[in-house]
Structure 1
Amino acid sequence: MAEKLTNLEQLLDRLDEAREGQDSVSFGRLMETIGKRSFGPLLLLIGVILVSPLSGIPGMPSTMGVAVFLLSCQMLLRRRHIWLPGWILRRSISEQKLAKVTGFMRKPARFIDRLINQRLSFMVDGPAGWPLALVCLLLAVTLPLLEPVPFAASSAGAALTCIGLAMIAHDGLLATIAYVLVLGIGGAVAYHFL
């Protein structure tokens, strides 16, 4: 059984592990590599995909939006096992693109990991999981709207990365940062569309 993820660099190690000997890597394979039972690592994975240049692939923000929508609904229902439809699990990334992404993310990951601590855990644990799930639901609805603007989905990816890391490390400060990012995204979307 794989060791539990505790930081961003470990996630990148798992992504490198998933791509070894592959021409392309499916989201399902990535999900199996990081673990199917924990929402934090999956939200972190989606966040990293959206923060990276992969968010520029046509359809990727919307696909990740559907995945986040399904994950957040399952979080609200307090499910223990995560389910995603086959068409999302079959969506794949070339081994070369994934290698570029993990290489690109290494330096920021080391910096971010130094800042992560278990603090203000009451903002992440227990009943605090409900507001986080609702924020994820809001981000899921926003992602398709951000797709026409090149790399705009990266801001939602940053918020999802913070939420995933907050859930993994029980870091309430990261959850607070995610809430602030989501307020900024909501304001930008409202300004653009109203």
Structure 2
Amino acid sequence: MATPPSDRAHHVRDVIDQLDDLTDRDRIFVSDVVDAFGTTAFLPVMMVPALLVVSPLSGIPLFSSVCGITIAIIASQLFLHRPRLWLPGFMRRRNVSGSRMHEAIGKIRKLANWIDRHSRDRLRFLTKQPGRQIAYGACMMSGFAMPFLEIVPFSSSLMGFAVLCIVAGLLAVDGLFVLIGLSIIGLAATIPFFVWTGLMAGSGA
């Protein structure tokens, strides 16, 4: 299935700038973000929670969980080839301070610029079917895992960065970034195992 034109028109800096345009409001709702990008712009909308979960906002309790569930819902609809994005009402009503969002965007702008500067047409087969389905599935699993990873410092941010790499790679038709994201997810999947092993070793001492 072809990527909607509205997805192909965005890169990381474009998403950052468009999101920053909303920060003059007292509160920014998830519904505001969806309205700003459009209900067919699945990838740019999914990039927003991925960006935010690697920002200082991830320190807010349960923020990473909300971002992860949002990523999972969007990725699952991409996986199922839905023509338009749907989010449940309780999620569309989630919000964050505009000033806090603006501050967070400022801190991740360099990362966005770096990704755009280094992305190019490579490993195109990973950005086409069935590679795209694998990428969507990986983003979906990463999103669902984030609520369980909040107890492990930085692990949710690592998953968010992986999703960010995958989405940036799909938008820029750069399979190398998709591969990097998939590799990070594979690495992050081992974190709970090592944490559990460490806890068991500690309790047995």
For 2:202, the equivalent position in structure 1 comes to: none
Q: Following the alignment from structure 1 to structure 2, what is the Cα–Cα distance between the partners of residues 19 and 35?
A: 18
Of residues 111, 117, 122, the one that matches 2:120 is 117
For 1:189, the equivalent position in structure 2 comes to: 192
Q: Following the alignment from structure 2 to structure 1, what is the Cα–Cα distance between the partners of residues 178 and 110?
A: 22
Q: Following the alignment from structure 1 to structure 2, what is the Cα–Cα distance between the partners of residues 131 and 92?
A: 31
The root-mean-square deviation of aligned C-alpha atoms, in Å, is 1.8
Instruction: Give, in angstroms, the shift of residue 43 of structure 1.
Output: 2.1
Instruction: Give, in angstroms, the shift of residue 5 of structure 1.
Output: 3.9
**1:154 maps to 2:157:** yes
Task: With the length of structure 2 as denominator, give the TM-score of the two structures.
Answer: 0.87
Of residues 5, 10, 15, the one that matches 1:11 is 15
Number of residues of Structure 1 aligned to a counterpart in Structure 2: 192
State the structure with bigger RCO (CA 8 A, min sep 6), 1 or 2: 1
For 2:136, the equivalent position in structure 1 comes to: 133
Q: Following the alignment from structure 2 to structure 1, what is the Cα–Cα distance between the partners of residues 51 and 107?
A: 11
Q: Following the alignment from structure 1 to structure 2, what is the Cα–Cα distance between the partners of residues 44 and 82?
A: 14
Structure 1 pair 193–133 and aligned structure 2 pair: CA distance change class (3 A): farther
For 1:91, the equivalent position in structure 2 comes to: 94
**1:76 maps to 2:79:** yes
Instruction: Give, in angstroms, the shift of residue 165 of structure 1.
Output: 0.6
After the TM superposition, which residues 40-55 of structure 1 pair with which residues of structure 2 at under 5 Å, given as runs?
Answer: 40-55=43-58
Q: In the alignment, is the contact (CA less than 8 A) between 1:35 and 1:41 conserved in 2?
A: no
**1:105 maps to 2:108:** yes
- Structure 1 gaps of 5+ residues are none
- Structure 2 gaps of 5+ residues are 1-5, 198-205
Q: Following the alignment from structure 2 to structure 1, what is the Cα–Cα distance between the partners of residues 110 and 76?
A: 33
Instruction: Give, in angstroms, the shift of residue 150 of structure 1.
Output: 3.9
Q: Following the alignment from structure 2 to structure 1, what is the Cα–Cα distance between the partners of residues 188 and 153?
A: 15
Q: In the alignment, is the contact (CA less than 8 A) between 1:165 and 1:174 conserved in 2?
A: yes
Q: Following the alignment from structure 2 to structure 1, what is the Cα–Cα distance between the partners of residues 172 and 7?
A: 14
Whose Rg is larger? 2
Task: With the length of structure 1 as denominator, give the TM-score of the two structures.
Answer: 0.91
Q: Percent identity?
A: 29
